[in-house]
Amino acid sequence: MPQDKINPKPALKPRPWIKTQELYIGGKSKASGISKPIKLSSNESAVGTSPKAVKAYMEAAVNLHRYPDGNYTDLRDALARKYNIESRQIICGVGSDEILKLACRAYLAPHDEVIFSRHSFMMYPIAATSVGAVPVEVDDVNYTANVDNILAALTDKTRLIFLANPNNPTGTYLTQSEVLRLWQNIPASVLLVLDSAYAEFIDEVDYDSGLEIIQKAQNILMTRTFSKLYGLAALRLGWGYACQDIIDCLDKIRDPFNVPTSAQVAGTAALKDVEFEKMAFDHNAKWLAWLNSEFKKLSLKPIASKTNFILMRFPKGKKSAQNANEFLLKRGFILRWLAHQGLGDYLRVTVGSEEENQKLISLLKEFMGQKD
């Protein structure tokens, strides 16, 4: 009889915390029976991509046989010039998600605690549990992160705080003074991660994406993305900024050549296309305000947003968010119903093109029983 039949080896098992980890659920891309649906579920660019970025991407195709610049020198230099920061304090990644996970790998051990606000980005508990850390969700207030609640949740096991600012999926933000108050009241041993994925859409004078506060902080990491305003979602390009010690630490554990050449050159070109950037910002500002006004006319309850999306509340009963979602899907419009985040009465809609926005409102008027 074979030896392994006498003494069978134990089955291969993953780390115990992996079994409890949830999958990230992205926005839908398809609607049954609709060949070309209107996707307003993932906060993608309403105006596409900079022509300069597309041109740079296409030109990079002739060098597919070469490895990327492992230090993404041109991209870091372009970011440094744009934001007047040190290029050596920048790290780039496969979307900002990679940098969030690198921070967890670098600074967390099993059973460490990670604080984040309710109704915030779903990747935070996923990133935390992927390394065996314990996610700690704290209540927000009026769908906005609350500094006092975060501070009250601190324990001697807290090692990291995730703060989306502006927040996804609610669109709200914390002022610079509140972020500063949070940082001033956490231990130096706790890393504050400022997820500023939607920073390009906000122009409030009391907002800081992290660029200013990091000048005096040794325990803050800011993350940003090219997926939203710059329209490079398909390339999965993100970046982070922090003090030199943090960046050096993350650099040691990231994969070599983690950012493809195509993403590097497209991102660099996008940063230089200030005309496209302004056009994208202006389009969003105009239609964000218009949609907000139209939703209110329909007796829906939008949350004031500083991003490129709006989270709006529907009544219960026949005019519920779930029924609205199904009504719109049948007509080829894909929004985001977030019941799994405790937001079953809400739909989140990305600002679309002029035609998409107007058609959406027309459909919602039909659903709500109002004449066009």
- 350-372: pLDDT as tens digits: 999 999 999 999 999 999 987 66
User: What pLDDT sits at residue 20?
Assistant: 76
Q: What is the largest CA-CA distance in the chain?
A: 80
Q: Would you say residue 193 has pLDDT above 60?
A: yes
User: What pLDDT sits at residue 9?
Assistant: 76
Region 242-249: mean pLDDT is 98
Interatomic CA distance for residues 241 and 261, integer angstroms: 21
pLDDT band at 24 (very low <50, low <70, confident <90, very high): low
Q: Would you say residue 17 has pLDDT above 80?
A: no
Region 163-191: mean pLDDT is 98
pLDDT band at 157 (very low <50, low <70, confident <90, very high): very high
Does the 16-47+275-368 domain belong in CATH 3.90.1150.10? yes
User: What pLDDT sits at residue 21?
Assistant: 72
Q: Are the C-beta atoms of 311 and 343 separated by less than 8 Å?
A: yes
Helical packing angle, 354-368 and 321-330, nearest 10°: 120
User: What pLDDT sits at residue 18?
Assistant: 75
User: What are the residue ranges spanned by the domains of the chain?
Assistant: 16-47+275-368, 51-273
User: What pLDDT sits at residue 79?
Assistant: 98
pLDDT digits (tens, 9 = 90+) for 270-310: 999 999 999 999 999 999 999 999 999 999 999 999 999 99
Q: Would you say residue 28 has pLDDT above 80?
A: no
Q: Would you say residue 3 has pLDDT above 60?
A: no
CA angle 128, 134, 137 (to 5 degrees): 90
Q: Would you say residue 23 has pLDDT above 80?
A: no
Region 143-164: mean pLDDT is 98
Region 66-86: mean pLDDT is 97
What is the SS3 string spanning the chain? CCHHHHCCCCCCCCCHHHHCCCCCCCCCCCECCECCCEECCCCCCCCCCCHHHHHHHHHHHHHCCCCCCCCCHHHHHHHHHHHCCCHHHEEEEEHHHHHHHHHHHHHCCCCCEEEEECCCCCHHHHHHHCCCCEEEEECCECCECCHHHHHHCCCCCEEEEEEECCCCCCCCCCCHHHHHHHHHCCCCCCEEEEECCCHHHCCCCCCCCCCCHHHHCCCEEEEEECCCCCCCHHHCEEEEEECHHHHHHHHHHCCCCCCCHHHHHHHHHHHHCHHHHHHHHHHHHHHHHHHHHHHHHCCCEECCCCCCEEEEECCCHHHCHHHHHHHHHHCCEECEEEHHHCEEEEEEEECCCHHHHHHHHHHHHHHHCCCC
User: What pLDDT sits at residue 170?
Assistant: 97
The dihedral over CA atoms of 317, 320, 322, 328, expressed in degrees to the nearest 10, equals 130
Which of 25-34, 142-151, 218-227, 314-323 bottoms out in mean pLDDT, i.e. has the lowest? 25-34
pLDDT band at 131 (very low <50, low <70, confident <90, very high): very high
At 272, the amino acid letter reads: K
What is the pLDDT of the chain when averaged over all its residues?
A: 94
Q: Would you say residue 81 has pLDDT above 70?
A: yes
* Fold of the 51-273 domain: Aspartate Aminotransferase; domain 2 (3.40.640)
User: What pLDDT sits at residue 114?
Assistant: 98
User: What pLDDT sits at residue 83?
Assistant: 97
CA atoms within 13 A on the CB side of 187: 11
Report the candidate in 46, 84, 26 with the shortest Cα–Cα distance to residue 307. Answer: 46
